[in-house]
A and B are shown apart, each in its own frame.
Chain A
Amino acid sequence: MLSRIGESIYWLARFLERAKNVARFLDVHAQLLLEQPWGTLGDGPANETFLPVFSLLGETDEFRAAWPGRPADRAAAVDHLVLDLDRPSSVRSIVRAARENGRAVRDRISREMWEELNTFHHALVGLEAEAVREHPHATLIDICRRIQRIYGVAEATLLHDGGFLLFRTGLFLERAGLTARLLRGRWFKLQAVEFRGLPVEPLGAAILKAASAFEAYRKVHHARMEARRVAEFLLFEPAFPRTVRFCLASVDYAVRGLRRSPPGSSSTIAERATGRALADLAYAEPGRAFKGQFGLDDFLARVLDHCDRIGEAIAESHFLHLPEEMLVDFRSAP
């Protein structure tokens, strides 16, 4: 498979996963505001109710620059993060980018998959802005469902060759990063709630729901919710497909599949990068994630660093074809 084709499929998956997470983060946050009204935890300016979502997506500066003086409320979040086609970070733009990548390889993905993607894009273009601002929930849920449907169609109709492995690579790498970002964005608040003796729910539940992990968490942990258990679950649970560990293991598996490398060996810098990241998570000493100077934040920064390095290594190993002397090997994570 040509690198250009493989790269388009990889980015198609990354963009879809990103769009889905943006939609879900927004939806869950809106629900949380109903259960735990803004300000009860000393959250910040009364009209900036959606600031946490901007912040965990790393979009705060972008938003301030794009809409000077506008408060970060629900309508602003819907505009900036869902509707605005001039903002690359809006769901509409991200899906358009996914569809452009799909269009470039439409003869290499299945017709069913292309049509799902294409009709999804057209449906988003046709959204009524005012209606979405008023009642975002229906639209946001629909976005998540349609993306999940594309995943299902991809799984069921694509040839499971290198292109499919790159689809999985893109999807799980993006998801690993977003789960880590979610946790990092909310961890201090969650700890503060617990420290003050307040119930960890509903914030803990909201964080889990933002990763579609609430029900899975409940099945594993029956005791009263604790901040550390929530964090550990999202990081390390080996059997749930949204945890950082599960995602990185999936990336590692897909990347190895590209070269059919047996476990315990590595033939590309991509395999070395995923192997190191996975070792860091799968073989961490219990409690180690919480032991840095800033506790979990240090560990999450390191996880995100792993994700970046894996992305670069995949590009170098499979897409860019730089001459050997220009390749950077990541000896070990800091």
Chain B
Amino acid sequence: MAARRKATGQAQAAAGGASPAQAAPAAEGPEAGGGPPAPPATGLFDGYDVGDFFDEFFEAPGRPRPHYRLLFDVLGSMTRDELDGHKRAADAAFMGAGITFAVYGDARAVERIFPFDPVPRVLSAREWETIERGLVQRVTALNLFLHDIYHEQKILRDRVIPRPLIYGARFFRREMLGMDVPRGTYIHIVGTDLVRDRDGRYMVLEDNLRSPSGVSYVLENRQIMMQTFPRLFAEHRVRPVHHYCQELLETLKHVAPAEAGSDPTVVLLTPGLYNSAYFEHTFLAQQMGIELVEGSDLVVQDLRVFMKTIDGLKPIDVIYRRVDDDFIDPLTFRPDSLLGVPGLINVFRAGNVAIANAIGTGVADDKAIYAYVPEIIRYYLKEDPILEQVPTWLCEDPKQRQHVLDRLPELVVKATNESGGYGMTIGPHATCEELEKTRERIVADPRNHIAQPTLALSRHPTYVDGTFAGRHVDLRPYILFGENPTIVPGGLTRVALRAGSLVVNSSQGGGSKDTWVLAE
């Protein structure tokens, strides 16, 4: 499973987490062929194999979990033809609505839909309640951490986190030191990746604190699911997600400068038409009723940022940016960037415009600093973490490094400054040569490598070739950290459609599912 993709072009590289892409590590356990004989199941579930994994849907072969029981009855009573028909209708709805992503490297720029699986993933009210509390706790602590790192740095002085780890982090921005951000908020929009291990425990795999993408699929999946399977919604009490865009706009307006008054001007800054997440940018801008701007549409004058309209220059109060730090202001960061706005950071520093997410938030989703998040939560909140996370060895520490090098074939090694599945070696799946290269990389640059045990990700029944089969899934809820933290119930469930695959990345055979949170 090659999880590396080539970065193609500046525009793509500049978009933070441009496509819903994340490769999750896990061990490929043996498919359980044996076990106790399954009680008779219904219809398309006949012969469904839960395997040696935590199955989201079944607690035992043929026995659905309580919150899946109704779905089991409805889906089990469908014929293959019926389900094929629904699937075709859903695919046509995506294509017709133009909910597509561009595939790079093809001269004709083929547009494809992000494959959609018609079997929804269901979370019980209780499960969700814990996840929600855990995420709010985690994001609150990470936001306090960012404020501290860019101000007093108490957590460093108290030696909870080693100072070199921060100053060596790729996304630590010295420009932000001592600077106050509106309402003290750094991370307005967060996408946290959760996975479940063999015992069904939810674990945080990764925090995405820069500009997480994929939320448009959450909203569109639900729309299309409701059009295609109205009956399912009549029989379940599924908590709605449609208010996301309104909540997002409120979150953005909340950080507008006070002078902007009650109706601040908010814009969405996109790298442009050729970015793979451009559909999402147009979707969100349209849903919020705000302008979708490119860097060249904005201009800085007298410490204010303006958009160029046909009626002249119009001042802007809040920028929801989907352009990375590196590209956002050529006067401060990369001078060759054509996607940003020269002078924008000065305006930000003067407090005349809010930028969401703030600059420099990447220091808190660095993969080495991830290892310290439980400590960060205890340090700032004096609470124990509600959500667990994956044990992580830091290669910088000589003892931990030796441990990692000794057990390389069992572990997942990640480069700390990469995301979206780049720079990752999955021990059990790697060749000897790949392992040797990884070993060399670790020894050459220990700070930028971490290792984690290989997880057996949970599986979920997925409609493949006319039947239901278990496929690995993850979950990315989106947290809006505004006046009151808001999480639309559920999030994006990504599924690795290829048998045995752990890669949920859209460019490598990943798909998505509608994700339901049931009301009490």
Q: Is B299 close to A, CB under 8 A? A: yes
Residues from chain B with a CB closer than 8 A to the CB of A259 are 311
Instruction: Report yes or no: B312 in contact with A258, Cβ–Cβ below 8 A.
Output: no
Instruction: Report yes or no: A321 in contact with B313, Cβ–Cβ below 8 A.
Output: yes
Q: A104-B273, A107-B282, A107-B286 are in contact. Are A6 and B310 (CB under 8 A)?
A: yes
Q: Is B296 close to A, CB under 8 A? A: yes
Determine the residue in chain B with the shortest Cβ distance to A165.
B310
Residues from chain B with a CB closer than 8 A to the CB of A321 are 299, 308, 312-313
CB under 8 Å from chain B, chain A span 72-131: 104, 107
Q: A104-B273, A107-B286 are in contact. Are A166 and B308 (CB under 8 A)?
A: no
Residues from chain B with a CB closer than 8 A to the CB of A258 are 310-311
Instruction: Report yes or no: B282 in contact with A1, Cβ–Cβ below 8 A.
Output: no
Question: What string of 1s and 0s marks CB contacts (under 8 Å) between B300-333 and chain A?
Answer: 0000000111111100000000000000000000
Q: Is A64 close to B, CB under 8 A? A: no
Residues from chain A with a CB closer than 8 A to the CB of B312 are 321
- Give the docked Cα–Cα distance between A166 and B310 (Å): 9
Q: Is A241 close to B, CB under 8 A? A: no
Determine the residue in chain B with the shortest Cβ distance to A314.
B310
Q: A107-B286, A162-B310, A321-B299 are in contact. Are A2 and B273 (CB under 8 A)?
A: no
Q: Is B451 close to A, CB under 8 A? A: no
Among the listed B282, B286, B293, which residue makes an inter-chain contact with A2, where contact means beta carbons less than 8 Å apart? B293
Instruction: Report yes or no: B291 in contact with A2, Cβ–Cβ below 8 A.
Output: yes
Determine the residue in chain B with the shortest Cβ distance to A3.
B308
Determine the residue in chain A with the shortest Cβ distance to B314.
A2
Q: Is B388 close to A, CB under 8 A? A: no
Q: Is A4 close to B, CB under 8 A? A: yes
- Give the docked Cα–Cα distance between A318 and B293 (Å): 16
Question: What string of 1s and 0s marks CB contacts (under 8 Å) between A1-27 and chain B?
Answer: 111101000000000000000000000
B96 CB to closest chain A CB, in angstroms?
11
Determine the residue in chain A with the shortest Cβ distance to B301.
A323
CB under 8 Å from chain A, chain B span 275-305: 282, 286, 291, 293-294, 296-297, 299
A322 CB to closest chain B CB, in angstroms?
10
A198 CB to closest chain B CB, in angstroms?
50
Determine the residue in chain B with the shortest Cβ distance to A259.
B311
* Chain B residues with a Cβ closer than 8 Å to the other chain, count: 16
Residues from chain A with a CB closer than 8 A to the CB of B296 are 4
Residues from chain B with a CB closer than 8 A to the CB of A107 are 282, 286
Instruction: Report yes or no: A2 in contact with B311, Cβ–Cβ below 8 A.
Output: no
Instruction: Report yes or no: B313 in contact with A1, Cβ–Cβ below 8 A.
Output: no
- Give the docked Cα–Cα distance between A319 and B299 (Å): 13
Among the listed B273, B294, B309, which residue makes an inter-chain contact with A1, where contact means beta carbons less than 8 Å apart? B309
B219 CB to closest chain A CB, in angstroms?
17
- Give the docked Cα–Cα distance between A163 and B297 (Å): 16
> SS class of chain A's interface: helix, strand, loop or mixed?
helix
Determine the residue in chain A with the shortest Cβ distance to B273.
A104
Q: Which of A162, A163, A318, A321 has the most CB of B within 10 A?
A: A321
- Give the docked Cα–Cα distance between A258 and B310 (Å): 8
- Give the docked Cα–Cα distance between A161 and B400 (Å): 64
Residues from chain B with a CB closer than 8 A to the CB of A4 are 294, 296-297, 308
- Give the docked Cα–Cα distance between A258 and B313 (Å): 14
Q: Which of B282, B291, B311 has the most CB of A within 10 A?
A: B311
Residues from chain A with a CB closer than 8 A to the CB of B282 are 107
- Give the docked Cα–Cα distance between A6 and B311 (Å): 10
- Give the docked Cα–Cα distance between A3 and B282 (Å): 17
Residues from chain B with a CB closer than 8 A to the CB of A166 are 310
Q: A107-B282, A107-B286, A321-B299 are in contact. Are A3 and B310 (CB under 8 A)?
A: yes
Q: A104-B273, A107-B282 are in contact. Are A162 and B297 (CB under 8 A)?
A: no
Residues from chain A with a CB closer than 8 A to the CB of B309 are 1-3, 6
Residues from chain B with a CB closer than 8 A to the CB of A3 are 297, 308-310
A34 CB to closest chain B CB, in angstroms?
43
- Give the docked Cα–Cα distance between A3 and B293 (Å): 10
B307 CB to closest chain A CB, in angstroms?
6
Determine the residue in chain B with the shortest Cβ distance to A321.
B308
- Give the docked Cα–Cα distance between A158 and B282 (Å): 19
Residues from chain A with a CB closer than 8 A to the CB of B294 are 4
- Give the docked Cα–Cα distance between A36 and B75 (Å): 77
A173 CB to closest chain B CB, in angstroms?
15
Question: What string of 1s and 0s marks CB contacts (under 8 Å) between B452-493 and chain A?
Answer: 000000000000000000000000000000000000000000
Instruction: Report yes or no: B311 in contact with A162, Cβ–Cβ below 8 A.
Output: yes
- Give the docked Cα–Cα distance between A104 and B278 (Å): 12
Instruction: Report yes or no: B273 in contact with A318, Cβ–Cβ below 8 A.
Output: no
B146 CB to closest chain A CB, in angstroms?
32
Determine the residue in chain A with the shortest Cβ distance to B286.
A107
- Give the docked Cα–Cα distance between A2 and B299 (Å): 12
- Give the docked Cα–Cα distance between A230 and B296 (Å): 47
A18 CB to closest chain B CB, in angstroms?
22
Determine the residue in chain B with the shortest Cβ distance to A166.
B310
Determine the residue in chain B with the shortest Cβ distance to A104.
B273
- Give the docked Cα–Cα distance between A104 and B299 (Å): 21
Question: What string of 1s and 0s marks CB contacts (under 8 Å) between A229-259 and chain B?
Answer: 0000000000000000000000000000011
Residues from chain B with a CB closer than 8 A to the CB of A163 are 310
Instruction: Report yes or no: A1 in contact with B310, Cβ–Cβ below 8 A.
Output: yes
Question: What string of 1s and 0s marks CB contacts (under 8 Å) between B90-126 and chain A?
Answer: 0000000000000000000000000000000000000
B378 CB to closest chain A CB, in angstroms?
47
Determine the residue in chain B with the shortest Cβ distance to A7.
B310
- Give the docked Cα–Cα distance between A200 and B313 (Å): 53
B295 CB to closest chain A CB, in angstroms?
11
B271 CB to closest chain A CB, in angstroms?
14
Q: Which of A2, A6, A318 has the most CB of B within 10 A?
A: A2
- Give the docked Cα–Cα distance between A125 and B313 (Å): 39
B489 CB to closest chain A CB, in angstroms?
29
- Give the docked Cα–Cα distance between A107 and B313 (Å): 22
Determine the residue in chain A with the shortest Cβ distance to B293.
A2
A108 CB to closest chain B CB, in angstroms?
10
- Give the docked Cα–Cα distance between A4 and B292 (Å): 11
Among the listed A2, A104, A318, which residue makes an inter-chain contact with B297, where contact means beta carbons less than 8 Å apart? A2
B120 CB to closest chain A CB, in angstroms?
29
- Give the docked Cα–Cα distance between A4 and B297 (Å): 7
Q: Which of B273, B282, B291, B310 has the most CB of A within 10 A?
A: B310
B194 CB to closest chain A CB, in angstroms?
33
- Give the docked Cα–Cα distance between A191 and B520 (Å): 89
Residues from chain A with a CB closer than 8 A to the CB of B297 are 2-4
Residues from chain B with a CB closer than 8 A to the CB of A162 are 310-311
Determine the residue in chain B with the shortest Cβ distance to A268.
B312
CB under 8 Å from chain B, chain A span 204-227: none
Determine the residue in chain B with the shortest Cβ distance to A4.
B297
Question: What string of 1s and 0s marks CB contacts (under 8 Å) between B7-29 and chain A?
Answer: 00000000000000000000000
- Give the docked Cα–Cα distance between A107 and B308 (Å): 19
- Give the docked Cα–Cα distance between A3 and B310 (Å): 5
CB under 8 Å from chain A, chain B span 245-298: 273, 282, 286, 291, 293-294, 296-297
Determine the residue in chain B with the shortest Cβ distance to A161.
B310
CB under 8 Å from chain B, chain A span 251-274: 258-259
- Give the docked Cα–Cα distance between A259 and B282 (Å): 28
A100 CB to closest chain B CB, in angstroms?
11
A142 CB to closest chain B CB, in angstroms?
27
A-B contact pairs, 18 of them (CB 8 A): A1-B309, A1-B311, A2-B291, A2-B307, A2-B308, A2-B309, A3-B297, A4-B294, A6-B309, A6-B310, A162-B310, A166-B310, A318-B310, A318-B311, A319-B310, A321-B299, A321-B308, A321-B312
**Contacts A3-B308, A4-B297, A6-B310 given; 6 further ones with Cβ under 8 A?**
A1-B311, A2-B307, A2-B309, A6-B309, A318-B310, A319-B310
Question: Top 5 nearest A-B pairs by Cβ distance?
Answer: A6-B310, A3-B308, A318-B310, A321-B308, A162-B310
